[in-house]
């Protein structure tokens, strides 16, 4: 007899939901690398190359962390994080850049 979530024996702890990490990068190769890197980690990973899709995921709820690239074609990562914070002010976010000379602290 298998036990699913509805058939737990009394006293058995419920399985905790996995934290959800949302990665946003316009380079699919980077997203593919991130997918491989986090494949066996205890997180649910969402990958997207579109800021509007990232914002939709945040609006749906359940995202634990956003990791966004700084340089993207239509909008930079700082602006994306501003939009995300307008929806979910306390959601942690990490900004990545492959360009070490970028001055991001003031933004």
Over residues 25-70, the pLDDT tens digits come to: 999 999 999 999 998 999 999 999 999 999 999 999 999 999 999 9
pLDDT value of position 88:
93
pTM comes to 0.78
pLDDT-derived band at 16, boundaries 50, 70, 90: confident
CA 24 to each of CA 8, 39, 53: distance values in angstroms, whole numbers, following the listed order: 37, 16, 9
| 77/94 Cα distance (integer angstroms) | 9
| 53/50 Cα distance (integer angstroms) | 5
pLDDT in tens, 92-102: 999 988 766 65
Contact 45, 34 (CB under 8 A): yes
pLDDT-derived band at 103, boundaries 50, 70, 90: low
């Amino acid at each position: 007899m298998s036990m699913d979530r509805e058939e737990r024996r009394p006293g058995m702890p419920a399985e905790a939901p996995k934290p959800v990490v949302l990665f946003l990068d316009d380079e699919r190769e980077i997203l593919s690398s991130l997918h491989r890197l986090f494949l066996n980690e205890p997180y649910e990973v969402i990958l997207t190359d579109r800021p509007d899709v990232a914002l939709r995921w945040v609006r749906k709820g359940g995202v634990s962390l956003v990791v966004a690239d700084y340089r993207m074609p239509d909008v930079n990562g700082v602006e994306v994080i501003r939009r995300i914070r307008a929806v979910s002010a306390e959601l942690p976010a990490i900004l990545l850049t492959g360009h070490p000379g970028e001055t991001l602290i003031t933004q």
